[in-house]
A and B are shown apart, each in its own frame.
Chain A
């Protein structure tokens, strides 16, 4: 059951294996989060119809975290204020990531292109770097621009970023040096960073209802994003 929470559909072995490297650590805290929220009140722990969404529906919506980090222009970006009333896709990753991060962001960017203008205006995509050592503001901006110039890039100290993730029930980002067991292949020859592989989706009600693990395809985003920008989430 816990496995299904991370992977709503039976994952292919390849992507399961790859995702395992970066999200295994996410399993325990998320399940714990789910369990904690599920015990919130009797009768409120049942997940709505899973079949409505391609992403994984959280049994209990999670509140949008409050944090302020520097954007790529160096200005403070208050996550709650800036994204208030918008569908917000929040993702923690790093620009040197050879697989999960560019694939997620490219898929989202591709599907956002298909949305009508007014629908597109209701979506914010926020990327938080888990590798502040190498991810300079300029590098983050250039990297995000290759996907979509409207994507917001945020940067803080690794302690700040990990604290935000901890509050959200996500695992801390971990630097994995070459030669370390479990280290992936870094395309630039440097180190890799183990991090949560899921995109957290906040609805118009500013609560997280869905997560999108690695393996989410463009057609999945295309099915869910138009619904997300209209869904009012009437359930408590």
Chain B
């Protein structure tokens, strides 16, 4: 069990701060970075179309995927602490997708939309109802104790959870932050509605974690102890992170969209009120 692992998963080995290599994580991050960079900045036109903020978002998004999956965060979240597992979720399903989509120049999105197959698939997958269903479905499925406990003891299963979070996050946040292939830009009220619907499941699950009398996940309950943290305390911290950090992120996203929308409305009103040129 102490041999080389390609992905972080629950091993039952007592935790030490000794660095461990996860080559599968490196390959995955490298592949994502390569594909993303080629898509986003593969041509001179796309490179010219990006802002410094977009570049920073893209770099931060890719770096955070690495942070979430590799040692020590990936290892701790993969088999020791529910709280770190929640940090992984917040990174992969919420923060990283927003950064990656924000980092995409419009030219790159337009290039994707010109591909008929992608446009067809995208028109269905990025439909608001489908996106919400995928996001909420992945969240609920990967937080069901039976599913989590069954998947996290294998590297492939743990990879499935991580990949499901990242992919469902991209499907959910792309129509909100950008314009995915096959879809028209969403109007701000619909973006707000989509975020609201997508985050509805977070609170009950977080409260379930917080109020449950016993630890819900065998993976973390029976993991070798980490410092003096009990499984119950760890689970409550996980719940708190989901409510506070997740809630803050969702509220921030809704506020940003709302105030931009309001600002846009005021700008239009000002433009309409300006006197036209004299005839």
Contact = CB atoms under 8 A, between A and B. Distances in A.
B222 A98 contact: no
Contact of B12 (A17, A186, A217, A222): A17
A215 interface: yes
A47 interface: no
B218 A187 contact: no
A103 B149 CA distance: 17
B270 interface: no
A215 B223 CA distance: 10
Interface residues of B, number: 25
For the side of the interface on A, what is the size category?
A: 20 to 34
B12 A18 contact: yes
Contacts of A13: 153-154
Contacts of A107: 221
Interface in A178-234: 184-187, 214-215, 217-219, 222
A24 interface: no
User: Which DSSP category, helix, strand, loop or mixed, fits chain A's interface?
Assistant: helix
A71 B183 CA distance: 73
A110 interface: yes
A184 B14 contact: yes
Contact of A14 (B12, B16, B213, B230): B12
Contacts of B10: 14
B247 to A, nearest CB: 29
A13 B153 CA distance: 6
Contacts of A222: 213-214
Interface in A104-153: 106-107, 110
Interface string B1-33: 110000000111110100000000000000000
Contact of B225 (A15, A102, A110): A102
A99 B150 contact: no
A187 B225 CA distance: 11
Given A17-B12, A185-B13, A98 B224 contact: yes
A12 interface: yes
Interface of B: 1-2, 10-14, 16, 79, 149-150, 153-154, 213-215, 218-219, 221-222, 224-225, 230-232
